[in-house]
Amino acid sequence: MLKKNKTLGEFIIENQSSFQYSSGELSKLINAIRLAAKVVNHEVNKAGLVDILGEAGDTNIQGESQQKLDVLANEKFIQTLKNREIVCGIASEEEDDFITINSYDEKHQNKYVVLIDPLDGSSNIDVNVSVGTIFSIYRRVTPVGTPVELKDFLQKGSEQVAAGYIVYGTSTMLVYSTGHGVNGFTLNPALGTFYLSHPNMQFPEDGKIYSVNEGNYVHFLQGVKDYIKYCQKEEGDRPYTARYIGSLVSDFHRNMIKGGIYMYPKSSIAENGKLRLLYECNPMAYLAEQANGIASDGFKRILEIEPTELHQRVPFFCGSKNMVEKLHEFMTKNT
């Protein structure tokens, strides 16, 4: 049983040896993410006050170049990871191509690449609703000391060595896994310290919450439509409750605690769905499976999908085991 009130720093040190590549670099990487999370949290929490919601390219009251919060979050995470000289490459939802970090001289033998969605659900910022950051970590597959290549990023989700998210909600939490379960840390803003508040997080096998944008109902496949009607039918423990925040991290986080299913299906208006495989679906699927949940594209494991493009989209169904399996029944029945 993990003792609560442990700081994230203590937890990282104590669990470093359990990580199969424990060279300390991954710990330094998680520490860099911890720092960036605090910086972004500070900006997110004051967003409404210093008018940083404007379009990128304007100037704010201090005459600084005004930046949209997701651009700012992107810059903060990239800058922090670069400064710590731990990774050899970064891919981001905000960057068209991956970024090479000086990995091709004898001084830099960095082994890891990081993929991020720096501010997921950023449209919620303007209306003061929670948002999140998502990160995914791999070991590079090309030789250390050479420039990072696209293939270092186009790895199956099952090859991740760590993944996690920060949720900027009523409190700010960092939730992550290095393959030994999922642990949640809550930021004490007065001290700037993350404390272990949710040890060994697990999806309940059953749940009564379904999260989907029902405004797209008419465009969904028949199997998804039938499953939504199943959730709404008065029978047994149903109807379920509909909860959809418009922020994957927030819906995922609530469903992992209470039980539930999150769905972003493909449709006639989004032929592969909306969510990105590499820096949204894969890290959340890694966490889901580490927490006894399931994540699929409606038919197969997200973590088994062979990526082909940096920003490719896939349909995404994720959450409590029995709920996702029931969805699979409806999807299979209708193929």
Report the candidate in 31, 34, 117 with the shortest Cα–Cα distance to residue 311.
117
Q: By C-beta, is 145 or 246 nearer to ligand P6P?
A: 246
From the number of C-beta atoms within 10 Å of its C-beta (0-12, 13-18, 19+), residue 128 rates as exposed
What's the CA gap between 273 and 233, in Å, rounded?
Answer: 26
What's the CA gap between 323 and 186, in Å, rounded?
Answer: 28
Tell me if 315 contacts ligand P6P by CB under 6 A: no
Tell me the window of 79-87, 160-168, 229-237, 245-253 that interacts with ligand P6P (CB under 6 A). Answer: 245-253
Q: By C-beta, is 32 or 275 nearer to ligand P6P?
A: 275
Contact 51, 125 (CB under 8 A): no
Report the candidate in 101, 129, 106, 133 with the shortest Cα–Cα distance to residue 117.
133
Please count the residues of this chain forming the interface with ligand P6P, following the rule CB under 6 A. 8
| Residue 54 C-alpha from the chain's centroid | 25
DSSP 103-124: -SSTT----EEEEEEEEETGGG
Q: Which of 84, 254, 266, 274 binds ligand P6P (CB under 6 A)?
A: 274
What's the CA gap between 159 and 142, in Å, rounded?
Answer: 14
Q: Min. distance of Cβ 279 from ligand P6P in angstroms?
A: 10
Tell me if 213 contacts ligand P6P by CB under 6 A: yes
Q: Min. distance of Cβ 247 from ligand P6P in angstroms?
A: 5
Q: Min. distance of Cβ 76 from ligand P6P in angstroms?
A: 19
Tell me if 161 contacts ligand P6P by CB under 6 A: no
Tell me if 197 contacts ligand P6P by CB under 6 A: no
Q: Which of 92, 247, 282, 296 binds ligand P6P (CB under 6 A)?
A: 247
Tell me the window of 55-63, 106-114, 178-186, 242-250 that interacts with ligand P6P (CB under 6 A). Answer: 242-250
Report the candidate in 281, 275, 80, 287 with the shortest Cα–Cα distance to residue 163.
287
Q: Which of 145, 169, 239, 246 binds ligand P6P (CB under 6 A)?
A: 246
Pattern 115-144, ligand P6P, x by CB under 6 A: -----xx-----------------------
Q: By C-beta, is 56 or 269 nearer to ligand P6P?
A: 269
Provide CB contacts within 8 A for 304, sequence distance 6+: 156, 157, 158
Q: Min. distance of Cβ 219 from ligand P6P in angstroms?
A: 11
Q: By C-beta, is 178 or 320 nearer to ligand P6P?
A: 320
Tell me if 313 contacts ligand P6P by CB under 6 A: no
Tell me if 291 contacts ligand P6P by CB under 6 A: no
182's torsion region: left (phi>0), alpha (psi -120 to 50) or beta?
Answer: beta
| Residue 308 C-alpha from the chain's centroid | 20
Judged by the rule CB under 6 A, the positions of this chain that interact with ligand P6P are 120-121, 213, 246-248, 274-275
